[in-house]
Amino acid sequence: MDSFNTPTLKKRFAAMLYEGMLLFGVLFIADWLFSTLLQQRHALHFRNAGQVWLFIVLAAYFGWFWSHGGQTLAMKTWRIKLVSRAGLPVTFWRSILRYVFAWGWFLPGLALAWAIGAKGWALVLIPFANMLIWALAAYTDPQRNFLHDRLAGTRLVQLPVASK
């Protein structure tokens, strides 16, 4: 696995965009189940529990796919695979660790915006700046790994085109 290169940032962002579209359906069904089973009559009822539920659903989704083959559907489409730093398959707990660290793309910026009481465009600009800093941190790594991969001891590899 060491002979494989790290996918380009363009391919990784394309896979993230595709993953987001796929996750819309997963989260829609999960939220529908939650609200139906708890007979939620208003969106704010059980809001915190619903957010925890969706966090767990996402953790299960990524934990399963990354530890069973190293690829989600979007990653398969772009021929990207998650492996350990040594090039071995990723364990379930390592994939959960990567999932938690990947929230660094969003949570620090959202927490900062909340902490300073940001209003208007600041609610967009602060989280966006966080995402930009997180993405640019890949340039500090020789293999261009994102920070959450470095922290979790994982890396992404570009798989070759399958010959027919």
Tell me what pLDDT residue 136 has: 93
Tell me what pLDDT residue 1 has: 47
Tell me what pLDDT residue 44 has: 77
The overall pTM is greater than 0.75: yes
pLDDT, one tens digit per residue, over 65-123 is 999 999 999 999 999 999 999 999 999 999 999 999 999 999 999 999 999 999 999 99
pLDDT, one tens digit per residue, over 43-63 is 778 888 899 999 999 999 999
Residue 3 has pLDDT above 70, yes or no: no
DSSP the chain: -TTSPPPPHHHHHHHHHHHHHHHHHHHHHHHHHHHHHTT--STTTTHHHHHHHHHHHHHHHHHHHHHTTS--HHHHHTTEEEEETTSPPPPHHHHHHHHHHHGGGTHHHHHHHHHTT--TTHHHHHHHHHHHHHHHGGGGSTT---HHHHHHTEEEEEPPPPP-
